[in-house]
């Protein structure tokens, strides 16, 4: 691991230790315990997929993303930043949630997130299914108040219940609105597409305050215009970004539980995120990576780069805050 007497501990030097050797922490970064239990950005896994409504397997997503992240390098030319030198980023391991009790799992994730945020870290969470976004948002809202939300997904995830269950991967953002933990003046879905149960789905979603940028909108208007629209909607509010990897077209992300045709390319997703680098990103997640369906690790590679861009944004902002910019 690289470090200086005053700077962060960085990833293993891949010119000295082959990428395929050693433990698969995110981007080959140090574990949280190796940096004294404190980090500016904590990368944490939540191996939980009991809330899915179709194909399971996202419980294995976090570690698969970590394996794919072995190829990440310490300098991000797209953002002209070395994120692991700007802030201490560390792998905080996994939050062990009960796979047989969704309500208990939600409480466990929230409590663990509370502990990480109390240490001063921002969270970069690797899922797991989208159920986990609710407890993560609860925790972030305790620290920042109601937060702006950018939700990248093929689906709305604002349905009421599935089979009578309130906590599933299709309901987290309805619960979050009901609980008052989202700033309803700054909510957006990005990349939505595909059939719905009925027009009421869209009507209910609009009443909650969500704006929608469909995948077709991104194609027609382009990433720069979309990113500009999102920046204006968010302003300087504390922002949480939640990314369901199925926002990508199945050609770019086959390894997910509920794929939908007509999605974003991985390039479009990364470019939109880079266009949000000036936003006040307080935490983020990447979820619904199901490696059992992932041909040649296409999905895991896309997810690892997505998490890398989000981590870079947070690291840059942390460094700028220290410099008083």
Cβ neighbours for 291, distance < 8 A, ≥ 6 positions apart:
57, 60, 61, 64, 255, 297, 299, 300
Indicate the length of the chain as a whole number.
Answer: 325
| Contact yes or no for 311/130 (Cβ under 8 A) | no
Query: What's the Cα-to-Cα distance from 240 to each of 84, 286, 296, rounded to whole Å?
Result: 21, 11, 30
Which is nearest to 169 in space by CA: 244, 94, 255, 248?
A: 244
153 marked ligand binding residue? yes
Nearest to 126 by CA among 41, 52, 66: 66
- Two tokens at 292? 């059992």
Contact 244, 276 (CB under 8 A): no
Q: Determine contact, residues 73/83, Cβ cutoff 8 Å.
A: no
User: Token pair of 302, please?
Assistant: 């896309």
Beta strands across the sheet bearing 41-46? 89-94, 41-46, 122-127, 280-287, 238-244, 147-152, 182-192, 210-214
Identify the three-state secondary structure at position 99.
coil
Query: Would you say 244 is a known binding-site residue?
Result: yes
Binding site: residue ranges? 130, 153, 155, 157, 244, 246
Binding-site residue numbers for Mn(2+) are: 130, 153, 155, 157, 244, 246
């Amino acid at each position: 691991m690289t470090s200086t007497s005053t700077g962060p501990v960085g990833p293993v030097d891949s010119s000295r230790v082959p990428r395929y050797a050693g433990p698969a922490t995110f981007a080959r970064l140090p574990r949280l315990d190796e940096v004294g239990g404190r980090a500016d950005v904590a990368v944490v896994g939540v191996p939980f997929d009991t809330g899915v409504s179709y194909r399971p397997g996202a419980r294995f997503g976090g570690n698969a993303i970590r394996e794919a992240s072995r190829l990440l390098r310490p300098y991000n030319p797209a953002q002209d930043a070395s994120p692991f030198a700007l802030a201490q980023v560390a792998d905080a391991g996994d939050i062990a949630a009960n796979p047989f009790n969704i309500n208990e799992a939600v409480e466990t994730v929230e409590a663990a997130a509370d502990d990480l945020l109390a240490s001063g870290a921002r969270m970069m969470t690797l899922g797991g299914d989208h159920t986990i976004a609710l407890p993560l948002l609860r925790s972030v809202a305790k620290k920042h108040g109601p937060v702006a939300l950018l939700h990248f997904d093929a689906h709305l995830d604002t349905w009421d219940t599935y089979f009578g269950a309130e906590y599933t991967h299709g309901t987290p953002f309805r619960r979050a609105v009901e609980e008052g933990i989202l700033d309803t003046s700054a909510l957006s879905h990005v990349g939505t597409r595909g059939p719905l149960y009925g027009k009421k789905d869209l009507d209910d979603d609009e009443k909650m305050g969500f704006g929608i940028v469909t995948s077709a909108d991104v194609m027609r208007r382009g990433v720069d215009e979309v990113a500009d629209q999102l920046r204006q909607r968010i302003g300087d509010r504390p922002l949480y970004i939640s990314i369901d990897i199925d926002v990508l077209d199945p050609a770019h992300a086959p390894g997910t539980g509920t794929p939908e045709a007509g999605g974003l390319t991985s390039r479009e997703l990364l470019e939109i995120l880079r266009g949000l680098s000036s936003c006040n990103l307080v935490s983020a997640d990447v979820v619904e990576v199901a490696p059992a369906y992932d041909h040649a690790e296409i999905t895991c590679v896309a997810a690892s780069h997505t998490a890398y861009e989000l981590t870079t944004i947070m690291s840059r902002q942390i460094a700028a805050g220290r410099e008083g910019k």
